[in-house]
Copies of this chain bind each other. A is one copy, B any other.
């Protein structure tokens, strides 16, 4: 005779039941953002299951974006998503401030490289031309939420070298761009990128590519962003089709 005193959801796999248990703790606020989840071994003990089963539960929670893991440190509750309006060219940092989210920018790399075939085509410059490559990390609450690598053709943007200020180096190109063609897709985060975001390699994230154009419609900058997908959502606006 089955025990009806315990109200277990019927037909739900063990590890799913554990997921639901933890999910409710997160939703109730018993587990706050960035606080540690129980370890695999502790969770196994608590629920009387094997470590592998507990691990499957925690991996599922991660996959859902409810938590993130830091290798050999533990798993932690994800903070709430921030919204990124891709429709305006406004500074992302300023945008975040309006949402009362504190974002810090850290320039981690800045070098001059030569354009490969793809970049040359995108920016309509000759292959092998000089390109400024800059990589910035974007933090919120001491956690990296995404990074971007931008490639700017200096010839196409003469103001750039003059404004060698810290501000321009760390902040976005801002007012320089007029329009940008953007592509957003889901994809797994490769080890190099994962290290920058301090997340587990190969977990799913969001990749964004921008081709920034000046007032004349000429592309002068290519940006590639890698986001921790569970921490962001993108907003945009569709407008009625103009005549074909």
Contact = CB atoms under 8 A, between A and B. Distances in A.
**Which of the listed residues A186, A206, A235, A237 has the most CB atoms from chain B within 10 Å of its own CB?**
A186
Interface stretch (A29-37, A59-67, A124-132, A136-144): A59-67
A230 B206 CA distance: 11
Interface of A: 60, 63-65, 81, 83, 86-90, 177-188, 202-206, 210, 229-230, 232-241
A187 B238 contact: no
Q: How many identical chains are in the complex?
A: 2
Contacts of A234: 183-185, 234
A174 B236 CA distance: 18
A34 B207 CA distance: 24
Among all A-B residue pairs, the 3 with the closest Cβ atoms:
A185-B233, A186-B229, A64-B188
Contacts of A206: 186
A182 B87 CA distance: 10
Nearest to A215: B240
A182 B237 CA distance: 6
B241 A64 contact: no
A236 to B, nearest CB: 5
A182 B188 CA distance: 24
Contacts of A183: 83, 233-235
B89 A241 contact: yes
Given A90-B241, A204-B204, A241-B90, A184 B236 contact: yes
Contacts of A233: 183-185
Contacts of A64: 187-188, 202
A9 to B, nearest CB: 12
Contact of A210 (B230, B232, B238): B238
Nearest to A174: B241
Contact of A177 (B178, B229, B240): B240
